[in-house]
Chain A
Amino acid sequence: MFVLENIKYKDILNIKNLTIPERKITCLIGESGSGKTTLLKLLNKMISPTKGSIHFKNKAIKYIDSIKLRRNVVMLSQTPVIFRGTIKDNLLKGLNFSEKPIVNDNTLKEILSKVHLDKSLDLNAKELSGGEKQRLALGRIMLMNADIYLLDEPSSSLDENTEDIIINEFVKYIKTNNKTLVMVTHSKTIAKTYADNIIEINKGKVKGEI
């Protein structure tokens, strides 16, 4: 689905060839600073490569409108950003931004239970802990019902037990709905458990695919 050829991004990334398959779970692993986040950002045009070409569904990404692409290839950054307002406001933010139809409170509650966040929709989102904010951010993007998800360390603020439950839930959501997931993770266990395809990045280069 994503085909990268001779990609260079400043001195951070240098990839000869890389294919990310559709409707599969791909995990990106590697040391911090190896270029994993940069690779994710290239896929939804948050940044553009200095050299080389990226194709998305056989079309050069540079000819695809960035905003349309990002509404279909939704990314979650490592540090979850919570907007001013309630949990409900935050859940609806993605739909508002991407100009998708607003859903009712029952759907919002279902999403909260999927990310194991047992809180009222009217609670001020500021009051949540780091891990809860991360789950809220995850719920927000699930609600957007995109085809492709790019997650950057989605469980970095979660304890091991919650991490397992949440990732398991998200993977289930991806598989049930025939979606694509590209996930950066520090945990080789998570990668081995859930990934169909593991890509190891080392100092900006693809070290290997498993």
Chain B
Amino acid sequence: MEGIVDLQVFQLLTAYIFILILLFIVRKRGIKREKEIIISSIRMTLQLILTGYILTYVFSNSNPFITISVICIMETFAIFNIYKRVKSPLSFNLKKIIALSMVIGTSVSILYFILIVLNLSPWYNPRYFIPISGMLIGNSMTGISLGVNKLVDGMISKKHIIETSLMLGATPKKASKSIVNNAFDSAILPTINAMVGMGIVFLPGMMTGQILSGISPLSAIKYQIAIMLGILGSVSLTVIIFVQLGYKTFFNNEHQLKL
């Protein structure tokens, strides 16, 4: 096995040339994005440095309490990130459903993956538990954000169709079925598309990381296949819980549309 090329600080600094090129392009073209580019570069750098130190500490102090705490923090950030990403105003009830779907959907998927697929021992080994949970939570967050946007937009733009269906004696479930299906479909489509391009169009981050750290490509793909299936499961579970419960928040006890 070849040794890993450890990046020196000055080597890392040379990579920032890409940011300078981007800044040059946007300035030249008069696109007002410099501030966001600089802020996001600084945030990315600082967040990753901090994460590096935290993970070093967590990995060398392996215990279930710390592992679970890290997952809780990730979950909380993911939930608030979803609230921020959705353009339309969210009701308190819908926010509760989003949080509930994320917690249940990702927890079930993480536990299944760790306990059944990986059969990890000890189960809380942070070196596996944290990055795998991160991938499942991150992808579920993206999926559910798309699902929330589609559901809210669909409910608003197709209000007249829902109302007509209710007038014809439909239950809220039947009246919003096409909107709910559409939201679910839009939420899982990027994950399905990612699977199609995987290995040919791009090498996924985790697999690239493993290969760079010296693991054989064949071992790396086994992990990658497993994690992609885990991601698909987690996204689907999270989004189906969300849409199945989420549409109900748009109706009251009298089966009237609350928009």
Given contacts A47-B256, A97-B174, contact A70 B164 (CB under 8 A): no
Distance in angstroms from B255 CB to nearest chain A CB is 4
Whole-angstrom CA separation of A150 from B254 in the bound complex? 19
Distance in angstroms from A91 CB to nearest chain B CB is 11
From B169, B175, B255, B256, A74 is in contact (CB under 8 Å) with B169
Whole-angstrom CA separation of A99 from B170 in the bound complex? 8
Q: At the interface, yes or no: A109 with Cβ under 8 Å from chain B?
A: no
Chain B residues with Cβ under 8 A from A97's Cβ? 165, 168-170, 174-175
Distance in angstroms from A64 CB to nearest chain B CB is 10
Given contacts A66-B255, A97-B174, contact A46 B160 (CB under 8 A): no
Q: At the interface, yes or no: B163 with Cβ under 8 Å from chain A?
A: yes
Given contacts A79-B160, A97-B174, contact A44 B167 (CB under 8 A): yes
Q: Is the CB of B254 within 8 A of A48?
A: yes
A47: nearest residue on chain B (CB-CB)? B256
Q: Is the CB of A71 within 8 A of B161?
A: no
Q: At the interface, yes or no: A34 with Cβ under 8 Å from chain B?
A: no
Distance in angstroms from B28 CB to nearest chain A CB is 47
Q: Is the CB of B169 within 8 A of A71?
A: yes
Distance in angstroms from B38 CB to nearest chain A CB is 47
Whole-angstrom CA separation of A45 from B251 in the bound complex? 13
Q: What is the number of residues of chain A that contact chain B, defined by CB distance less than 8 Å?
A: 25
Q: At the interface, yes or no: B63 with Cβ under 8 Å from chain A?
A: no
Whole-angstrom CA separation of A102 from B171 in the bound complex? 18
Q: Is the CB of A66 within 8 A of B256?
A: yes
Q: Is the CB of B166 within 8 A of A46?
A: yes
Main secondary structure of the interface of B (DSSP, over half): helix
Among residues 69 to 91 in chain A, which have CB atoms less than 8 Å away from a CB atom of chain B? 70-71, 74-77, 79, 81, 83
Chain B residues with Cβ under 8 A from A77's Cβ? 160, 163-164, 167
Among residues 15 to 72 in chain A, which have CB atoms less than 8 Å away from a CB atom of chain B? 44-48, 66-67, 70-71
Chain A residues with Cβ under 8 A from B168's Cβ? 70, 74, 93-94, 97-98, 140-141, 144
Given contacts A74-B167, A74-B168, A98-B169, contact A45 B256 (CB under 8 A): yes
Given contacts A46-B166, A77-B163, A98-B168, contact A66 B174 (CB under 8 A): no
Q: Per-residue CB proximity of A121-142 to B under 8 Å, as 1/0?
A: 0000000000000000000110
Distance in angstroms from A124 CB to nearest chain B CB is 17
Whole-angstrom CA separation of A178 from B163 in the bound complex? 27
Chain A residues with Cβ under 8 A from B164's Cβ? 77, 81
Chain B residues with Cβ under 8 A from A44's Cβ? 167
Q: Is the CB of B169 within 8 A of A70?
A: yes
B171: nearest residue on chain A (CB-CB)? A67
Whole-angstrom CA separation of A90 from B154 in the bound complex? 20
Whole-angstrom CA separation of A64 from B26 in the bound complex? 63
Given contacts A45-B254, A45-B256, contact A67 B169 (CB under 8 A): yes
Chain B residues with Cβ under 8 A from A74's Cβ? 167-169
Distance in angstroms from A48 CB to nearest chain B CB is 6
Whole-angstrom CA separation of A46 from B159 in the bound complex? 13
5 more contacts with CB within 8 A, not counting A70-B167, A83-B161, A93-B165, are A74-B168, A75-B167, A97-B165, A97-B175, A140-B168
Chain B residues in the interface with A (C-beta under 8 A): 160-161, 163-171, 174-175, 254-256
Q: List 25 A-B contacts (CB under 8 A).
A: A45-B254, A46-B163, A46-B167, A46-B256, A47-B256, A66-B256, A67-B169, A67-B171, A70-B167, A70-B169, A74-B167, A77-B160, A77-B163, A77-B164, A81-B160, A81-B164, A83-B161, A93-B168, A96-B174, A97-B165, A97-B169, A97-B175, A98-B168, A144-B168, A144-B169
Closest 7 CB pairs of A and B: A98-B169, A71-B169, A97-B170, A81-B164, A75-B167, A97-B168, A66-B255
Chain A residues in the interface with B (C-beta under 8 A): 44-48, 66-67, 70-71, 74-77, 79, 81, 83, 93-94, 96-99, 140-141, 144
